[in-house]
Amino acid sequence: MTRSSADYAALLLRVSMGVMFLAHGLLLKVFTFGPAGTAAYFESIGYPAALAYAVILAEIVGGAMLIAGVHVRIVALALVPVLIGATLQHLPAGWVFSAQGGGWEFPAFWTVALLVQALLGAGAHAAVADALRARLRARPA
């Protein structure tokens, strides 16, 4: 079976977003601020502390699942509310992300990218999609 350029575009988008989610969840929220520090920050901006732990988990697990190509459409859609929340949080700071408090354009763009990924699907080299294709090819006619 030959792959289209769209399959490889979906792969590139999927893996790059997965890496970004892992970096944001692990490097920023776990290793830089720590889970307790992230929870304190969430409380300081009016969100419940428990939401911080849910966001950390979603970003790490979701990022790993995107990279592996596991349930990509579902994962992409499940991460959309995380990015909508981030967009709303950054909205008062304005458009430019370098502004104090960060701008809203980066999380808004990331939200659109997740929706594009959900529409495209997993693309090339996705664990679940590739395993399913192999199973279907192996079935007797």
- Each residue of 18-58: pLDDT tens digit? 999 999 999 999 999 999 999 999 999 999 999 999 999 99
DSSP result, 1-39: -PPPHHHHHHHHHHHHHHHHHHIIIIIIIIIISHHHHHH
Handedness of CA 110, 113, 115, 117 (dihedral sign): negative
- The pTM score is 0.86
Report in angstroms the alpha-carbon separations of 137 from 35, 131, 141: 45, 10, 9
**Residue 72 near residue 64 (C-beta atoms within 8 A):** no
* pLDDT tier at 61, thresholds 50, 70, 90: very high
Question: What is the span of the domain harbouring residue 59?
Answer: 5-138
